[in-house]
Amino acid sequence: MLEGFAGGFLEVLQIATLMTMFVGVIAGIVASAIPGFTITMAIVLTMPLTFYMPPIQGIATMLGVYVGGLTGGMISAALLGIPGTPSAVATTFDAYPMARKGDPGRALGIGIFASFFGTLVSIVVLVLAAPPLAIVAIRLGPWEYFSLIVFAMTVIASLVGRSLVRGLIAGLIGIFLATIGPDPMMNSPRFTFDLAMLSSGLPFLAVLIGVYAVSQLLGEVEEMRSASGKGEALIEERIVFRPLSYLMDTIRRPINLIRSSLVGVFIGAVPGAGGSIANLLAYDQARRASKDPDSFGTGVPEGVVASESGNSSTAGGGLIPMIALGIPGSAVDAVLMASLMVHGIAVGPRLMVDNPEIVYSIFVGLLVGAVMMLVIALSSMRYFLMVTKIPKHIIVPAVLVFCAVGVFALNNRVTDIYLLFFVGALGYMMKKMDYPLAPLVLGVILGPIAETNLRRALSTSEDLTLFVTRPVSALFLALAVLSLVVFLRHRMRPGASGAS
């Protein structure tokens, strides 16, 4: 193994590879910081450039974009309250309040270190446990997937806010929005009303950006109604950035860091899940394990650590089934696989046997990418923090235009930006009527996976007991029940927030 690593270091630590990786990390950070621009899009745009590089340089460059992208999404999440990528949704819960309290440097600093450590943990698991974990992940049938999603849906309970009923309504509206468009099994149109813009369903990113970005920016406009508010910046206080103090803030929470990273690795290893679920699940677990769960959402470091380590560790997790079995864990991994195949390298269970240098270079590339991300992010964050000094009357229209462009770029369809408007207006109205937005987004993410797997399971066998007799499925359902019991016990405690 050591020889393999030495070979991997020799391959990756070439000047040309390091230079393209450096550019890749920067590109990933910047692209993900723009709402609407996903890591997958950044990787897809990078792929053609890697055709002209040797395979290892190409894959290392794409890993740089990947690692940078997983961190970049938190920049707009922390500074503007708008997740740059779906994997940064939970980062808005605590990083944004922390920033609005006048400490945006701390929010970003903790996020950067948590991302870095999350990636490191995922590399360790990737190296040590790839084959057994991949076999577990790949053996999950539709029963286990459905039960996993039921467990993930209990996260909604943590996100309901003041009123349980309103939170549930928001979550169910999210799941319902995801049913619009072609039905996942029979492809028959549902609730499209013969409208072209609904015919292929609601693009998840249009919903995410509409719900978060548009409603958040309109919230900023609301605060500008007074004449004295004109020309004010997002954060008026003097901005400080003390990396060493943020490092201590992060490593003082080792259990949270490791637990959230392991959640991210596991979710990343399950094909089709990924960062958008991992960050929410890691946040939820951190909240439940906390002695003071009510402080979550007010700008506590624990929330930032959980979300950022949870989403960044999906990088290594997603590579587990790819390296061990040739099955991509996420869309990004599928692009990485395609890039290797373009170079004539067959990705499958024999990859480790036939091309060990590629596998070790992937391990090393991920590590080097994480270190580069740390260096680049820490040295550039002062400049990103300047965003908070730009007056709101400039930020609001500029970011709205960015959002429209980002949503258009998804499918090159103007109708998608009309959806952005409607979803944005809906999100703002819900926010004003005290309906939490996070369950809605979670519903949109989890709803289609739940429906597809439930129907697949019942198509295979109509025996409902399989959900509880298959051990892994039963484990997830037991965790879901436990999670709900803990939530209800906490909710019924005298003085707990929100009793309805």
Partner 1 sequence: MSDPRSDNASGRPDRPEDDAPQSGAIAGDSALLQFALNLVMLAGFGYLFWEAMALPESRWEPLGAGTFPRVLLGVLMFLNVVMLIQSARQARAELGYGPRALFDVAWRTMLEFRMVFTVLGAFGLFLILIRPLGFVIAAFLFAFGVQMLLGPRTWRNLVISAIIAAVVSVGLQVFFAQALYVFLPRGPFF
- Contact residues for 477 (Cβ-Cβ < 8 A; gap 6+): 147, 150, 151, 467, 468
Alpha-carbon distance values, 10 to 96, 332, 357 (Å) = 41, 25, 10
- Contact residues for 286 (Cβ-Cβ < 8 A; gap 6+): 256, 259, 260, 296, 302, 303, 305, 306
Residues of span 166-185 touching partner 1 by CB under 8 A: 166, 168-169, 172-173, 175-176, 179, 183, 185
Residue 226 binds partner 1 (CB under 8 A)? yes
First to last CA, the chain: 57
Residue 221 binds partner 1 (CB under 8 A)? yes
CA 173, chain centre distance (Å): 21
* Side-chain half-sphere exposure of 155, counting CA atoms within 13 A: 26
Give the residue carrying structure tokens 């790819």: 322
The one-letter amino acid at 484:
L
Closest CA to 143 of 478, 465, 484: 465
Interacting stretch for partner 1, rule CB under 8 A, among 119-127, 343-351, 456-464, 472-480?
456-464
Options 123, 214, 265, 364; binder of partner 1; rule CB under 8 A: 214
* Side-chain half-sphere exposure of 304, counting CA atoms within 13 A: 36
Nearer to partner 1, 1 or 394 (CB): 394
Nearer to partner 1, 241 or 418 (CB): 418
Alpha-carbon distance values, 34 to 41, 320, 399, 470 (Å) = 12, 28, 9, 43
Q: Is 276 helix (H, G, I), strand (E, B) or coil?
A: helix
Convert residues 279-298 into a mask of x (bound to partner 1 by CB under 8 A) and - (unbound). --------------------
How many chain residues are in contact with partner 1, going by CB under 8 A? 61
Taking the C-alpha atoms of residue 401 and residue 307, their distance in angstroms, rounded to an integer, is 28
Nearer to partner 1, 458 or 484 (CB): 458
Options 10, 128, 191, 354; binder of partner 1; rule CB under 8 A: 191
Rg of the chain's alpha carbons, rounded to an integer? Answer: 22
Interacting stretch for partner 1, rule CB under 8 A, among 69-77, 105-113, 455-463, 481-489?
455-463
Tell me the closest approach of the beta carbon of residue 324 to partner 1, in angstroms: 32
The token duo for 466 is: 């399989």
Alpha-carbon distance values, 137 to 283, 318, 472 (Å) = 22, 10, 10
Residues of span 424-443 touching partner 1 by CB under 8 A: 424-425, 428, 431-435
Using a CB cutoff of 8 Å and minimum separation of 24, what contacts does 46-49 make? 47/335, 47/338, 47/339
Residue 491 binds partner 1 (CB under 8 A)? no
Residues of span 372-401 touching partner 1 by CB under 8 A: 391-394, 396-398, 400-401
Interacting stretch for partner 1, rule CB under 8 A, among 291-299, 314-322, 448-456, 477-485?
448-456
Nearer to partner 1, 2 or 186 (CB): 186
Residues of span 29-68 touching partner 1 by CB under 8 A: 45
Tell me the closest approach of the beta carbon of residue 354 to partner 1, in angstroms: 35
Among left, alpha and beta (phi > 0; psi -120 to 50; other), residue 271 is beta
Options 67, 148, 202, 454; binder of partner 1; rule CB under 8 A: 454
Q: Is 69 helix (H, G, I), strand (E, B) or coil?
A: helix
Tell me the closest approach of the beta carbon of residue 316 to partner 1, in angstroms: 28
Residue 444 binds partner 1 (CB under 8 A)? no
Options 23, 331, 352, 458; binder of partner 1; rule CB under 8 A: 458
Options 1, 10, 190, 251; binder of partner 1; rule CB under 8 A: 190
Residue 420 binds partner 1 (CB under 8 A)? yes
Q: Give contact residues for partner 1 (rule: CB under 8 A).
A: 45, 165-166, 168-169, 172-173, 175-176, 179, 183, 185-186, 188, 190-191, 214, 218, 221-226, 230-231, 391-394, 396-398, 400-402, 404-405, 408-409, 412, 414, 417-418, 420-421, 424-425, 428, 431-435, 451, 454-455, 458-459, 462, 500
